[in-house]
Amino acid sequence: MLITPFFARQIDDLTCPEVLLALLPCLPFLQGIGPPTPPNNCCIGLNNLNQRANTIQIRKDVCNCLKPAASRFKVNPDKSKQLPKLCNIALSVPFDPSVDCNTVQ
């Protein structure tokens, strides 16, 4: 009985590498070195990520993964703010490098 919730949580949670892999097709756009609009596979990854970030804790974890990655990969903050709109997705996780992840709901 105690093992079941643990395994269920592992299935529901997102790891940081999974988050980054989902957004990998977006990287050229986010860095401002790619096309002026994100490619379709970027938007698909963003949508999948958004659907899986279905609890407050997962959204906070995703946020805490994306913040340092944005700096490390030199993501253009303007592009990160444009991405959800260009992909036509209402994000449950703020895609803003300046956000306080502790305030994510």
pLDDT of residue 2: 45
* Averaged confidence pLDDT in the chain: 86
Cα 75–Cα 20–Cα 28 angle in degrees, nearest 5? 40
Q: What share of the chain is helix, strand, coil (3-state, %, to 5)?
A: 65, 0, 35
What are the structural domains, with CATH classification, of the chain?
16-98 (1.10.110.10)
What is the reported pTM? Answer: 0.81
- Judge whether 96 and 75 are in contact, CB under 8 Å: no
User: Letter for the amino acid at 30?
Assistant: L
Task: Convert the pLDDT of each residue in 27-66 to its tens digit.
Answer: 999 999 989 999 999 999 999 999 999 999 999 999 999 9
Count of CB atoms within 10 A of residue 86's CB? 15
